[in-house]
Amino acid sequence: MTTPTVGLVGAGGIAHVHLPGWLDLGFSVVVYSADGHAPALTGLYGGRAVGSMDELLDTADIVDVATPTDTHRQIVERAAEAGKHVVCEKPMALTVADSEAMIAACQRAGVRLFPAHVVRYFPAYAAMRSAVADGRVGTPAVQRFFRIGAAPKQPWFRDRARSGGIAMDQMIHDFDQARWSAGDVAAVYATQAGDQTTATTAVHAILRHHSGTITHVNGVWGNSAVSFHTGFSVAGPDGLLEHDSLRHPVLDYDGVSDAAEAGYLPPVEAASSPYTAELADFARAIRDGGSARVTAEDGLHAVRIAVAVNRSLDEHTEITLEDITENTLEDRR
Amino acid sequence: MKVGIISFAHTHAIGYASILRDRPDVECVATDPEHGARPNGESGGRELAESIGVGYVDTVDELLAWHPDAVIVCSENARHADDVERAAAAGVHVLCEKPLATTGDDARRMVDACERAGVWLMTAFPVRFTAQYAQLRHRVQTGAMGTVLSISGANNGRLPAERAWFADPALAGGGAVADHTVHIADLVFGLFPDADAQEVFAVANHMLRPDREAETAGLVSIRYSNGVTAVIDCSWSVPEHYPTWGGLNLRVIAEGGIAELAPFAERVDGFSDRSPLWLSYGADLDAAMLDEFLRAVSEGRQPVPSGRDGLRALEVVLAAYESIAAGRAAGVRAL
């Protein structure tokens, strides 16, 4: 059996990580991007740029959707109809309805759908979840997650209609983590400071899980000099797990002027890239029909939490997740 | 200067007594009349005073009859109001342990009594005396950080094990929310003295220690009148065998960057045969706080943080409990 070909749709930020990841794993990759940037991307990393979505679908066995969020549903549905397995960058979609439609389309077509919640493949987060699952701290009582990065430069990210804002685009990583370690979320409350007129946006979300766990998620899109910085604290009756991505560096520079990089994405080593590990897990699941560490249902749950957080920001009140259905205000937008 | 200590109920009293004992300008006498009512095995009373090396009398009346210049009230939170009122009536300046009280009425009564009596009331918020907090506040207040948008804070500790009353809501006014929200609430007010806390949303649970009546984990979200938002994790989430009591972290998120303050971070790390070692060497914040108290009293000025500062922090706690009970955001009521 020949190695399947991946059709990467989009040539923006995350494509710069996924393309080298697929190539490292030995896949042939064709890239299509509506903005015409595919040749520049393949020029950097390899792979072959194609001129249309039809051409991509003619060639690819797996479609990797790395486009702005508001275009995911249409591309995923088209890929599914063409019988392709789908990897879709997170968030799956801006609405619960779109996410459900994508899942349904892939089920109808008999293809797999994997939302790229890559933080599940960051070793510190995987180690924490594994320790929690093994009962080493007991049922988490209180969790904190934070995620700080420079605000993304592409304007569509800060347009909530297109990206869902920081809650949907960035904090969704930690919504997924919070749910991974403490189970489904029952209700959320959130506050925001900063908006499209400020350099910095900070959102706090408080999650109540069905397990009784309470979780604080703090997302920050900071000024362009802010380092990428994440961390968590998970406390249960039997112990405490803490992590800070800036502590315990394996390699650190001092006196080197260009060493500190501000960033929207975390710095990773190619050989141990969580992005590559994620794509490898999806590829294996497609190959052997098994499960991956993250499922389409997980992606849907994460979207539902983010939609609820955005609604809480609008309504200044706690939002019950059961109230986030296909026919919510958010979904009609 | 003659300084009295009313009650060893709060174990901070032991530290205060030791600091005062070592000050050549201070004579210290303590009283701990409720010691007998505390559970067997909890330290206190004359025995504790003697082991520290400070004077001891049996009752608050005797202590006040000694004519101290000032007292430190370290009784159970629910008893602060009566003790402060008695000290004020005797014309004695007061440093009161936090939280100032367990009800708004009590706190108001304390502040009013001290104002009426013309004595100073200070609230024991030692973290304010972190030198790096003063630097941070200077940067914030001079605009060097740009506009501050938001705060993320965590003040976590062990379940206070050496005194049972901390987890008895009747005496403590609650659990972790009452105990650990106020320090960070006060630090935020210190950064923005003109801002008011307007609305609080809080959640809590008992999962860390289901055997205790009081909540042991809590998250408190606050909206301020200047547009700043904050969340405080006030949980007693530090494991029993952790190498130190806990800690405090404050992240200030501003247009001009992000500041992270960890007043208790300074230490030497190590490991013995059996357990981690954590040798804290940061400045003694309690000593700095007592120095401000005694200096202000001798100079005839209001010590900072004041009783009113304690009142404002308590307003946040009371709104947090209202929110927890109601399951929705609660307005902060000025006391």
Mark yes or no for CB contact A144/B227 under 8 Å: no
| Local confidence band at A262 (pLDDT 50, 70, 90 cut-offs) | low
| Local confidence band at A249 (pLDDT 50, 70, 90 cut-offs) | confident
Mark yes or no for CB contact B207/A216 under 8 Å: no
CA distance B108 to chain A (A): 30
Task: Out of A180-194, A296-310, B161-175, pick the least confident.
Answer: B161-175
- Cβ pairs bridging A and B (under 8 Å): 127
| Local confidence band at A324 (pLDDT 50, 70, 90 cut-offs) | confident
pLDDT for B156-191, tens place per residue? 999 888 899 998 999 999 999 999 999 999 999 999
d(CA B81, CA B86): 9
pLDDT for B78-132, tens place per residue? 999 999 999 999 999 999 999 999 999 999 999 999 999 999 999 999 999 999 9
B258 vs A contacts (CB less than 8 Å): 148, 220, 222, 226
Mark yes or no for CB contact B201/A236 under 8 Å: no
pLDDT of residue A160: 83
Contacts of A19 (CB under 8 A, 6+ apart): A8, A29, A31, A41, A42, A45, A46, A47
Please state, rounded to an integer, the average pLDDT across all residues of chain B.
97
Most confident of A272-276, A280-284, B37-41: A280-284
pLDDT of residue A328: 46
Tokens read off for A204: 């706090």
pLDDT of residue A331: 44
* Cis previous bond, B99, omega within 30: yes
Stretch 181-200 of chain B: residues touching chain A, C-beta under 8 Å: 199
B257 vs A contacts (CB less than 8 Å): 222-223, 225-226
A240 vs B contacts (CB less than 8 Å): 237-239, 242
pLDDT of residue B237: 97
pLDDT of residue A253: 85
Question: To which H or E segment does residue B6 belong?
Answer: strand B2-6
Tell how far CA A198 is from the center of its chain.
24
Q: Chain B residue with minimal CA distance to A206?
A: B219
| Average pLDDT, integer, range B31-38 | 95
Q: Chain B residue with minimal CA distance to A148?
A: B258
pLDDT for A208-229, tens place per residue? 999 999 999 999 999 999 999 9
| Local confidence band at A333 (pLDDT 50, 70, 90 cut-offs) | very low
pLDDT for B203-218, tens place per residue? 999 999 999 999 999 9
pLDDT of residue A162: 84
Task: Select from B146, B152, B209 the Cβ nearest to the Cβ of A218.
Answer: B152
| Local confidence band at A157 (pLDDT 50, 70, 90 cut-offs) | confident
Residue B1 has pLDDT above 90, yes or no: yes
* Cis previous bond, A91, omega within 30: yes
CA distance B206 to chain A (A): 8
pLDDT of residue A323: 87
Q: Chain B residue with minimal CA distance to A151?
A: B255
The structure's pTM equals: 0.95
Q: Which residue has the tokens 């949980």?
A: B235
CB A72 within 8 A of CB A88: yes
Q: Chain B residue with minimal CA distance to A220?
A: B253
| Average pLDDT, integer, range A71-91 | 98
DSSP B39: P
CB B196 within 8 A of CB B215: no
Residue A272 has pLDDT above 80, yes or no: no
| Average pLDDT, integer, range A258-283 | 79
Q: Chain A residue with minimal CA distance to B229?
A: A193
Which of A137, A139, A142 is best to mutate for the B interface (most B CBs within 10 A)? A142
Mark yes or no for CB contact B251/A236 under 8 Å: no
CA distance B115 to chain A (A): 37
Mark yes or no for CB contact A214/B152 under 8 Å: no
d(CA A225, CA A53): 37
Q: Which residue has the tokens 């294996």?
A: A284
CA distance A202 to chain B (A): 6
Task: Select from B207, B221, B223 the Cβ nearest to the Cβ of A237.
Answer: B207
Residues above pLDDT 90, as percent of chain A: 83
pLDDT for A20-48, tens place per residue? 999 999 999 999 999 999 999 999 999 99
Mark yes or no for CB contact A318/B328 under 8 Å: yes
pLDDT of residue A270: 64
Residue B25 has pLDDT above 50, yes or no: yes
B235 vs A contacts (CB less than 8 Å): 141-142, 235
pLDDT of residue B253: 98
Task: Select from A140, A202, A239 the Cβ nearest to the Cβ of B253.
Answer: A202
pLDDT of residue A31: 98
B102–A contact, CB cutoff 8 A? no
Q: Chain B residue with minimal CA distance to A141?
A: B207
Task: Select from A193, A215, A239 the Cβ nearest to the Cβ of B149.
Answer: A193
Task: Out of A51-55, A267-271, B55-59, pick the least confident.
Answer: A267-271
Task: Select from A146, A191, A201 the Cβ nearest to the Cβ of B221.
Answer: A191
pLDDT of residue B4: 98
Stretch 201-260 of chain B: residues touching chain A, C-beta under 8 Å: 201, 203-205, 207-210, 216-219, 221, 223, 227-231, 233, 235, 237-239, 242, 251, 253-258
Mark yes or no for CB contact A216/B217 under 8 Å: no
B265 vs A contacts (CB less than 8 Å): none
ipTM: 0.95
Residues above pLDDT 90, as percent of chain B: 97
Which of B155, B184, B258 is best to mutate for the A interface (most A CBs within 10 A)? B258
pLDDT for A85-128, tens place per residue? 999 999 999 999 999 999 999 999 999 999 999 999 999 999 99
pLDDT of residue A327: 46
Q: Chain A residue with minimal CA distance to B159?
A: A237
Residue A147 has pLDDT above 60, yes or no: yes
| Average pLDDT, integer, range A129-139 | 98
- What sections of chain B are H helices per DSSP? 12-21, 45-52, 60-65, 80-89, 104-117, 131-141, 169-172, 176-191, 285-299, 307-326
Residues above pLDDT 70, as percent of chain A: 94
Residue A265 has pLDDT above 50, yes or no: yes
Please state, rounded to an integer, the average pLDDT across all residues of chain A.
93
